[in-house]
Amino acid sequence: MNQVAPARAAAFEILLTLERGSGHSDELLYQPAVVRLSPQDRNLTTNLVMGTLRWQLALDARIAALLARPQTQLDPSVRVALRLGAFQLLYLDRIPVYAAIGESVELAKNAENKFAAGMVNAILRKIAKLPKPKETNEVTNSAELAMAYAHPQWLVDRWVIAFGMQSTKQICDYDQLPAPTFIRLIGSEAEQELLREGIELAPSSFLTNVRKVVSGDVSSTAAFRNGVVRIQDEGSQLVAEIAGQGQRILDACAAPGGKTAILAERNPDAAITAYDISKRRLAAMQHALQDTPYGARIHFESVDVANSKLKPGFDLVLCDAPCSGTGTLARNPEIRHRLKPEELNRQHGRQVAILHAVMGGVKAGGRLLYSTCSLEPEENEAVVRTCLDSRDDFELVRIDGELERLERDGILHAEGAKQLRDTAVIDGSLRTLPGVHSCDGFFAALLTRRA
């Protein structure tokens, strides 16, 4: 692409792919064309993609106000070029105005409309003269909150009802910042290896063998390549730790495999079965885990668990169900643009089918942990309640006791265990909220089958 810096060209292609409804930002940012860029260009590409997605609703509002016909349906490449340019002008301080405008104009020349480049130039020049958005702490209702933090109002309305205004503001604020990177220390020397390679670390909020990355690229270190550290959100790791012990373990929706790996680490003598409906994701997971010390103990199988007929042979089942992902908007900002309210009921129906199916695989006295990375009750409490109402041989186990076990075993910090008990245990289940807790939003409910 002529006269366009590599980072902007890569960001434009990723945003255009997402605008057309394909792919996911976290996968597209690791495709070969991006990996081949210099570290500086990779960082800028990530910043441009994620920032544009996070602020897209606010960017679109600014752009629409400057269009001669605000309701005009723009060509996707024009929309993306305008958003990309506007994001740089409004939210980044070190990008020269001429570069943000000039290269966006070049990107818009791909559009079928021959006047598109001129329109992009004119609108971005007007935006360049506007004041940059100011941080605001004074929002009095959900409409103001949604506008200030570029979230769909219908989603913010739900959260305010469920969690209150203050917690919803914390969620939205967390969603607009780069998600923190957490690592799991697997080898005894892993932390020292990272420090020697220039990675700056800080303690995590909850788990004793997790660190927060303050600065540095962990993925470029020998420790990461050698498998003695793994990048994984702390909330995700917490869910897997709560699952506990077993000899025959099923991870029913296993890909990408981070929770499966923790189950294997904590259960060194267990036989583990990993199911996933996606053959591609399962194959990637198998490749990632095959050289680990526990890889040989994991049996991988592509299964649509919602339609499976499981026999009660597992003493531990983890069911991390596919969901809307509203607890991960900091990492997957495009979700907010794709998700529609009516999809939550569809998700609920499939999640009920999945949980009901895996309940059949739990043997008497066995445990089942149901989890999602959703904040929505239709996908969480309502799924558990529906399935428990249909089975009188299962009951809910309060998460409080599991947190005490993890603290007693040295897996949870005492302070972290107290914070979780005080703020994240709701009606016996676990619910982390982004911003309220320094991790993604997760729900987890522990069930047991009566002996």
Residue 67 neighbours by CB under 8 Å, 6+ apart: 123
What's residue 109's pLDDT?
86
Cα separation, 384 vs 396, whole angstroms:
9
**3 state SS of 236:** helix
Cα separation, 119 vs 67, whole angstroms:
9
**Torsion from C-alpha of 322, 327, 331, 337, nearest 10 degrees:** 80
Average pLDDT (202-208) is 97
DSSP string covering 7-57, please?
HHHHHHHHHHHHHTT-S-HHHHTTSHHHHTS-HHHHHHHHHHHHHHHHTHH
Average pLDDT (104-132) is 88
Helices (H), 267-303: 279-289
pLDDT tens by residue, 251-291: 999 999 999 999 999 999 999 999 999 999 999 999 999 88
**Left if phi > 0, otherwise alpha if psi is -120 to 50, otherwise beta: which for 27?**
alpha
What's residue 112's pLDDT?
67
8, 46 in Cβ contact below 8 A? no
Average pLDDT (370-387) is 98
What's residue 29's pLDDT?
95
The candidate with the shortest Cα–Cα distance to 320, out of 221, 254, 382, is: 254
pLDDT tens by residue, 407-429: 999 999 999 999 999 999 999 99
Cα separation, 194 vs 252, whole angstroms:
33
pLDDT tens by residue, 56-80: 999 999 999 999 887 778 899 999 9
pTM: 0.95
pLDDT tens by residue, 236-246: 999 999 999 99
Q: What is the DSSP letter of 412?
A: B
What's residue 111's pLDDT?
67
Average pLDDT (385-389) is 98
Domain extents in the chain: 6-128, 142-175, 182-230, 234-449
Q: Is the pLDDT of residue 1 over 70?
A: no
Alpha-carbon Rg for the chain, nearest whole angstrom, is 23
> Tell me: domain 6-128, CATH 3.40.50.300, correct?
no
Domain 234-449: give its CATH architecture.
3-Layer(aba) Sandwich (3.40)
> What CATH number belongs to 182-230?
3.30.70
Q: Is the pLDDT of residue 138 over 90?
A: no
Q: Is the pLDDT of residue 405 over 80?
A: yes
Strand partners, 229: 185
Average pLDDT (293-313) is 94
pLDDT tens by residue, 358-371: 999 999 999 999 99
Confirm whether 6-128 and 234-449 share one CATH topology: no
Average pLDDT (164-185) is 97
Q: Is the pLDDT of residue 114 over 80?
A: no
Q: Is the pLDDT of residue 164 over 70?
A: yes
What's residue 359's pLDDT?
98
For residue 198, which phi and psi values (nearest 5 degrees)? 85, 10
Helix (H) or strand (E) holding 214: strand 210-215
